[in-house]
Amino acid sequence: MKQYLNLLQDILGNGVQKGDRTGTGTLSVFGRQFRHDLSDGFPLLTTKKLHFKSIVNELLWFLNGDTNTRWLNENGVSIWNEWATEEGDLGPIYGAQWTAWPTRDGGTLNQIDYVVDCLRNNPDSRRILFHAWNVEYLPDESMSPQDNVRAGRMALPPCHLLYQFYVAQGRLSSQLMIRSSDSFLGLPYNSASLALLTHMLAQQCDLEPGEIIVCTGDSHIYSNHLEQVRTQLQREPLALPRLDIRRRPEDIYSYCFEDFQITGYSPHAHIPAPVAV
């Protein structure tokens, strides 16, 4: 994941100071990209330890169309709690848009079903994608996340908003557009989640995992993460682990955490940092 570390160095060296919604302040650059061939290992960051359980369970939660933190909390994941209402609601965020995009006739469309169908039956299509940027439900930035939820909007607008897929010579590659990238905390999780989803779709559609490409818009480091980033950049990257999927469920929605095994993951120690709320 040397390209990821290069991005952090790029932001430190070339970033401009910008304000942000949280009031924390950032160093920011615009329009970056990195890529990783999944045959070289699973892109779980090694210069600090990541919580693989959170990555897996959050993705399963999205795929289940869930938008309440209850299931996440029951499964050891608390990363969404700061933005939820007292009842755990987050409004129509990722899972709702992925699996139940509202239509004009009052129905819904499952974008994940569409992607799976295309990969199986029309793999040369240039329209194999899904996204979560539903303008009607974007939050009002002048209101709290909780008040937006009570008004029927998303608690937060999607950051990882567009996923596109490409099949060539039996290999499935994926590209993710992230409009706003918390490059120290969020980006390593987004990249690993993209890789995990690619492995799952490849298994379901009888393909081999190919390459992941991550494109970031506003790529930033929060002002209270700068020392942590400098610590991380002093560390030498280690060998990447391998992902094994222990069974093939009947569909993309039927995986559980126990289906995934990471082997050979021996990262440097975790680096704590506050989340900008």
State pLDDT tens for residues 177-235.
999 999 999 999 999 999 999 999 999 999 999 999 999 999 999 999 999 999 999 99
pLDDT score at 262: 98
Please state the residue numbers annotated as binding site. Answer: 21, 51, 126-127, 179-182, 190, 220-222, 276
CA separation for the pair 152, 246 (Å, rounded): 39
pLDDT score at 277: 76
CA separation for the pair 113, 151 (Å, rounded): 29
The CATH code of domain 2-256 reads 3.30.572.10
Sequence spans of domains, the chain: 2-256
CA separation for the pair 234, 35 (Å, rounded): 22
Percent helix, strand, coil in the chain, to 5, is 35, 25, 40
**Average pLDDT for 101-105:** 95
Q: Give strand pairing partners of 256.
A: none
Q: Which residues are catalytic?
A: 159
Please state the residue numbers annotated as binding site for dUMP. Answer: 21, 126-127, 179-182, 190, 220-222
pLDDT digits (tens, 9 = 90+) for 111-138: 999 999 999 999 999 999 999 999 999 9
pLDDT score at 21: 86
Q: Residue 218 is inside which H or E element, if any?
A: strand 208-222
Mean per-residue pLDDT of the chain: 97
CA separation for the pair 185, 195 (Å, rounded): 17
Backbone angles phi, psi at 30, to 5 degrees: -125, 130
Report angle CA 65, 69, 70 to the nearest 5 degrees. Answer: 100
Is the CB of residue 138 less than 8 Å from the CB of residue 124? no
pLDDT digits (tens, 9 = 90+) for 248-266: 999 999 999 999 999 999 9
Instruction: Give the CA distances from residue 233 to residues 237, 263, 266, in Å, rounded to whole numbers and listed in that order.
Output: 9, 24, 17
Measured between its terminal Cα atoms, the distance across the chain in Å is: 27
Angle between helices 186-204 and 2-14 (to 10 degrees): 150
Q: Cβ contacts of residue 186 below 8 Å, gap of 6+? A: 159
CA separation for the pair 117, 201 (Å, rounded): 11
pLDDT score at 276: 80
